[in-house]
Each structure stands twice: as C-alpha cells, then as structure tokens.
Amino acid sequence: MRSHLSYRSGNPALSSKTFDNINRNHNGPLIKEDVMTIKGTVDKTAISLLLMLMAGYFTFNEGSSLLMIIGGIGGFIVAIITIIKKEWAPITVPLYAILEGLLLGGISFMYGQLYDGIVFNAILITASILMSLLFAYRSGIIKATENFKLGVFAATGGIAIVYLFSFIASFFGAGFSIMNPTNGSLMSIGFSLVVIVIASLNLVLDFDFIEEGAEKGAPKYMEWYGAFGLLVTLIWLYLEILRLLSKLNSRR
C-alpha cells in the first residue's frame, strides 16, 4: 500500500478533504461490490470520455455556437453541483462529459479551421501523455511524494492566477500576449510548455487520489467522482496542447 499524503491534487475537484464525511447508502458492513475500485474508476473514465467524444463530434461543425454556450455554462454548473453533492456523481458526471464535449467540439472545430490536422494531433498527444504517466505511476517511476505534491499544487495555483488576471484584463481590451494561440514567440511557446507539464503532473496526483479512494474503501459512487477529476485535468491538458500546436503552426 502506498503512503498517501496531505495534498491530493492541484485539481480543485480532488482535494485533501474529499474523503472526509462521505456518505454510504447503508449502515451495514461493506461488501466488495459496494466500494470504489481502480478498475471501476477506469471503466467510468472510459465511459465519460466516450460520451465526451460523441458530443464533441456532434458540434464539430459550423453553426454550433449556441450548443457551445450551453455546454460551457451547463458544464460549469454541473461541475459545481458534482463537487458539492458527490453522491450525485453517477448522474452528474456523464452529463458533465456530454456538456463539455459540446463545448470542446466547437472549440476544436475552430482550431481545425485554422490548421489542418491540429485536432487529431492534440487528441493523440493527450492520450499518449495519459497512458505514459499512468504507466510511470503504476510502475513506481514517478512517485507522488509530499514535496512533489506541494510543488505541483503551488505551480497549478500560480497558473490559475495568471489565467484569472488574463481573464479580467480581457474585459478592458488587454490580456496576456503569451496566452494568445496565434503568438508564436519563444516566450509564448515556453509558457505553454510549462503549463502542459504542470497539467500533466496533475494527472499523477489524480491517480494517487483514485488509488487512495480504493484503499480506503470509499463508496461506489466515488468511482464516478474520480472519473470526474480526471476529466477536469484532461480537458485542461487537451486545450493547452491545442494552444501550443496553434502557436507552433503560426511560426510557419
């Protein structure tokens, strides 16, 4: 059994207090079928990704602006509900995957219109990073030590602050040029690379979170919640890879 320490993830959905006061649906002794497992979480994650891809394919075309708005706003609301009411995860997480798929499909289409093949490459790179880090974590090549978690947590918080200030500045006609997907400067590309590395390392902390849930015998619905946490990180990673590929293509 691994030692799971205080900081779970820079992912706001997977915090150190997630397993505190979680409710089970009965008062009797737990049986194997009632508890969270790693395999169960993997299955739920695969289902969620499939739903997201199907929804994304539906909006991968012109004229999907309204569905993108519905997906973006609806996905945010459902994400908040999922974090607050974890026991609803078996219902809210598939809905979240569909809504986010509607948003990502439209975004991906816009990037695809700019540069041919960029979407397929972004999906391939995201999937490769996921599988590589999962292998590295399960084989012990990468270990989620306390210092590792603290570093990733701090770096993620720093990036979140940059996002926030850039978002606020955009209302005043400004913004950070390093975040512009058409900015092919070395500094801008370097920033994207750093963000992708941090997002990728958050996957390791998400794996650690899921493993801890399985070891603690968390209730079955937490499999869906673990899948939700992975989706949040994967969506972030995919969007940043799209941004990086766009910057690289703009240099041609």
Quickly state the pLDDT bin for 251 (edges 50, 70, 90): confident
- pLDDT tens-digit series, residues 82-118: 999 999 999 999 999 999 999 999 999 999 999 999 9
Q: Three-class SS string for the chain? A: CCCCCCCCCCCCCCCCCCCCCCCCCCCCCCCHHHECCHHHHHHHHHHHHHHHHHHHHHCCCCCCHHHHHHHHHHHHHHHHHHHHCHHHHHHHHHHHHHHHHHHHHHHHHHHHHHCCCHHHHHHHHHHHHHHHHHHHHHCCCCCCCHHHHHHHHHHHHHHHHHHHHHHHHHCCCCCCHHHCCCCCCHHHHHHHHHHHHHHHHHHHHHHHHHHHHHHHCCECCHHHHHHHHHHHHHHHHHHHHHHHHHHHHHCC
Name the residue type at position 127.
A
Asked whether the predicted pLDDT for residue 63 surpasses 60, the reply is: yes
Name the residue type at position 75.
G
Among 1-10, 69-78, 133-142, 213-222, the range with the most confident prediction by mean pLDDT is 69-78
Across the range 10-34, mean pLDDT stands at: 55
- For 94-108, 114-128, 143-157, which range has the lowest pLDDT when averaged over its residues? 143-157
Residue with tokens 């539906």: 58
Residue 175's pLDDT is: 73
Cα 110 from Cα 223, distance rounded (Å) = 33
Backbone angles phi, psi at 35, to 5 degrees: -115, 160
- 204 within 8 A of 73, measured Cβ to Cβ: no
How is residue 175 written in tokens? 């913004």
Cα 126 from Cα 129, distance rounded (Å) = 5
Asked whether the predicted pLDDT for residue 66 surpasses 70, the reply is: yes
Cα 11 from Cα 228, distance rounded (Å) = 11
Query: Any long-range contacts for 142-148 (C-beta under 8 Å, 24+ apart)?
Result: 142/204, 144/2, 144/4, 144/5, 144/204, 144/205, 144/207, 144/208, 145/5, 146/5, 146/6, 146/7, 148/201, 148/204
